[in-house]
Amino acid sequence: MRLFQLLAGLMPLMLCGCGVMLRGSMDRLEDGAALPFAIQTSYGTGSMEATDPATGEVFTGQYTGITQGGGSSFGTIYNAQMMQTSTVQTFSRPTHATARGTLRGNMGTVVQVALDIKPGLRPSGHGEGMDNKGRHYQVRF
């Protein structure tokens, strides 16, 4: 009974789909400004945020990623002593992900970003962006 109560109490936390925010930097190439950047770990879609310390503009947005590499395969094994065959399946995890997203600032700036992500327990990545004013950014986390 106590196990059931514990699981029932933890269920909302397990189902909320909350991801960890990974900290990084979004550097504006025109003036070298370093904007604190964060991206949510997820399985496909997540949130991003950044802040421009010089202007106080706060950016929020979403990204969508697609994994590449990895997959599954089937094979047949044969036991000669027992004269039996069996089918096995193997899996390999994705080796790379690409993502695209948009950050919208509360002062009208919109930044489109393209990211290359290395999946893992703590994903890492880099990318680039361009805003609606023609300024370029380098992103890393």
Token pair, residue 64, equals: 């969508």
**Contact (CB, 8 A) for 99 and 115:** yes
Q: Where are the domains of the chain?
A: 21-67+94-140
The residue that leads in pLDDT, 98 or 14, is 98
With 0-12 / 13-18 / 19 or more C-beta atoms within 10 angstroms meaning exposed / middle / buried, residue 3 is exposed
Number of neighbours of residue 104 by Cβ within 10 angstroms: 15
Each residue of 38-75: pLDDT tens digit?
A: 999 988 899 999 999 999 999 999 999 998 888 888 88
Q: Tens digit of pLDDT for each residue in 107-139?
A: 999 999 999 999 888 899 999 999 999 999 999
